[in-house]
Structure 1
Amino acid sequence: MIHDLVLTGGEVFGHGRADVAVRAGRIAAVGPGLTGDRVHDVSGLLVTPGLVDLHTHVGPGYWGIDPDPIAWRTGVTTWVDAGSAGAYTLEGLRRAVASYGVRVPALLNISAIGLAGRTGEGRDLANCEANLAADTVRAHRDLIRGVKVRIDRETVGANGVEPLRRGLAAAAASGVPVMVHIGAAPPPLDDVLGLLRPGDIVTHCASGIASAVGPAAREAYARGVLFDIGHGSGGFAFDVAEAQVAAGLAPYTISTDLHARSVHGPAFDLPTTMAKLLAVGLPLADVIAAATERPARALGLDAGTLAPGAPADIAVFRIEEGPFEVADAHRQVRRAPLRLVNEATYVGGRLLHPRLPAPSPPWVPLTAAQRAALARRDHDVRALLAAPLVDVDGLAEQFPLDPAGP
């Protein structure tokens, strides 16, 4: 059979050396000797399912970013928006999602106002109506895959775990999981973990602020609560992650919590975050699974796999041998043995093309070094694009002169 596209000669995750064939936007086959109208040689490269980032913020508001300028160079084809929108603001997220070239399932914030501001959305319980959230999930099931609740002292104030109780009620009524953000107490972390059900997700699991390594964390892990990295700007600490791995609490999923305050560091992107878990000692196969098939399974997404019939979301990587220095949210440093460098990203069999990022919003705090690096990047891009693409030897005479002359 002649397919639309074949990636040939690569090392395919879970299959070994094989070709990957695409037809009508879906995976048609994985195996040897496949043929297609377009054949891309990926010999010497690693082919994986498109990465699935379980915790991002790509909707309107304080934290939101445009995923497209990052997706094409990182292999991330599914961006789960983790609570940027609540019931009152969901239509804004839906409009944004329609403009993106990647897939964006969402978690509905239990607070109906979502993340329009930096924090505090759980301080007014009038905004945290379980019935409204459940009705919204059911009415928008094509988009919404779960409920998001942020529980830390800034977000909930004196309300403790009540927003989480309401989020759990909404999730139970609509048949979806809850993702809970953990951070600075109060309320105590044990109170948060004790409420979670099997299949619910605790993000920022390796937070140095919350430190989920005690008996309550072990009990939650044992009963099937899923631990998600959710790196962000303050949610990942190497020493906590190392203690969790040593205690048998390795993360189920690896996500970035990529947003306007983490995209320029310390998270940067999903391959960089994956390298940090390699530095902690997780095997490459586990790290890839934690950024593909496992997050897809957690939310029931049609993603994270190269099985025939699945959407042809594909990432092609070059493996660079290290060691490479990587830093957590608290500037602790470790060395990763290798890193994945993206060479091509496909969504539905369509190659994503380069996109330039927008400037950082004015409310985002940046270090002097970050500002200088962004200015250098802008200068370098301008210089690259301002120079003629080729010299005269690289041109063809598209409209030859008439030899007979005028």
Structure 2
Amino acid sequence: MSYDLLLAGGEVIDVGGGHVGRLDVGVRGGRIAAVAPALPRHAAREVIDAGGKLITPGLVDLHTHVHPGATYWGIDPDSVAWYSGVTTWIDAGSAGAYAIDSLRAAVSGSQVRVAALLNVSAVGLTAPDGESRELANCDVDLAAATLAANRDLIYGVKVRMDRKTVGENGLEPLRRAITVAEAAGVPVMVHIGVAPPAVDEVLRLLRPGDVVTHCASGLAEGMFDGTSIAPAVAGAHAAGVLFDIGHGSGGFSFDVLEAQLKAGVTPHTISSDLHARCLYGPVFDLPTTMTKLLAVGMPLEEVVAAATVRPARALNLPGGIGTLAVGARADLAVFALEEGAFELVDSHRRGRVADRRLVNEMTYVAGRALPPRLPPHPKPWIPLTGAQREALLERDRRVRELLSAPLIGVDGLAEQYPRSTD
């Protein structure tokens, strides 16, 4: 058998495909052709020595916002994907019924795969919050028809349940989201935050397979009393509600997560909630979020599964997404697992130190390496600290300096047009 690409001798963690250990990965025609030890090097057009590196399926980020042209929160996924290893991005409710066509157009040219959760509010996330304060926006029939007409793009329903978003409407937006989801046979992802409503009220309505994102939130009332998690939280977890990290700007606290882990309430999925505010910190990217889970003691294999096959299965994504199963599209990520002492912070500037971190070295989509792509500047409405602004300016300066200097000197050149001599 011949291969277009062979990643040789890496430490593979592919829980969904059943491949864990020191293995080679062969790619042909943009799909996984073989995962096995000692595949023949001579049969490959390109061989990459992955010795000492970690090879995973392309990461699947269950909670992101990637609609930059029409929402407050959206970012360009391609400019982050190439250095983070995320090849499947789930846009979590940026678009409701009014903007789903716009979202489709926005992601149609993306190099990465984008799937969506439909916001139960037709107006979606055009503003920082408040999309469900006017209950008429949460039109069940309109949302159900939109979902039915876009099943190739939409894999679930999103609703934000916090004081700023629902106003005086209490649990009704969630009830409507569940009605829409039940009609289509898809899960609901529910954002929890500052009450009302309280966490136990929200969890009481969720079904097995529904997703509660920001599961380690320090803002959600009724999650954590300072020493232990609430019985309703443990009960929902045991009943099959899927707990998703959804880090974001305000949805992740180390102390809450550690209390959950102590109680056996392990997050099912690890997502970043990457958007235009937290892109510059405290989230930065999904590998940094995964490193935070390593810092509190989750095993590496479980962390990788929670950012690959588990989110793919939570939404019933097709085609072997999140795995290196033979025949699946060859979306891969290559990481260095660096050792040291790495300071990390949660959404409330509380720190932990990790003794290792994941650093992406290459990202492949359909067997092709994603090229570097400079990120756009933040939108004018995104609040940044002085330090963040200075860091962005310094990054621009360093990139300009790197690209404006001659790449190599005379010793690295060949004579491209030799002069003839008599």
Q: Same fold (TM over 0.5)?
A: yes
1:229 aligned partner: 245
CA root-mean-square deviation? 1.0
1:137 aligned partner: 147
1:165 to 150, 167, 175: 175
1:251 aligned partner: 267
1:2 aligned partner: 2
Q: Aligned partner of 2:368: which letter?
A: R
2:230 aligned partner: 214
Give 3-state SS (helix, strand or coil) of 1:321's partner: strand
1:93 to 103, 108, 111: 103
Task: State the distance in 1 between where 2:264 and 2:136 align.
Answer: 40
Q: 1:130 Cα deviation (Å)?
A: 1.3
Task: State the distance in 2 between where 1:284 and 1:15 align.
Answer: 12
Cα deviation 1:331-371 (Å, max 9, x = unaligned): 00011121011111001111001000000111011111111
How does 1:3-402 map onto structure 2 within 5 Å?
3-13=3-13, 14-34=19-39, 35-59=43-67, 60-210=70-220, 212=223, 213-301=229-317, 302=319, 303-402=321-420
Give 3-state SS (helix, strand or coil) of 2:280's partner: coil
- Work out the percentage of aligned pairs sharing the same amino acid: 65
Cα deviation 1:80-124 (Å, max 9, x = unaligned): 000000010011111111121111100000001110111100011
Cα deviation 1:297-325 (Å, max 9, x = unaligned): 10112311011111111000111012211
Task: State the distance in 2 between where 1:323 and 1:200 align.
Answer: 36
Q: 1:12 Cα deviation (Å)?
A: 1.0
Q: Aligned partner of 2:177: which letter?
A: G
- Structure 2, unaligned stretches of length 5 or more? 14-18, 224-228
Task: State the distance in 2 between where 1:399 and 1:248 align.
Answer: 69
**Structure 1 length as normaliser, TM-score?**
0.98
Q: 1:3 Cα deviation (Å)?
A: 1.3
Task: State the distance in 2 between where 1:133 and 1:252 align.
Answer: 27
Cα deviation 1:359-384 (Å, max 9, x = unaligned): 01110111111111111101000000
Task: State the distance in 2 between where 1:322 and 1:228 align.
Answer: 27
Q: Aligned partner of 2:95: which letter?
A: A
Give 3-state SS (helix, strand or coil) of 1:18's partner: strand
Q: Aligned partner of 2:373: which letter?
A: R
**Structure 2 length as normaliser, TM-score?**
0.94
Q: How many pairs were matched up?
A: 404
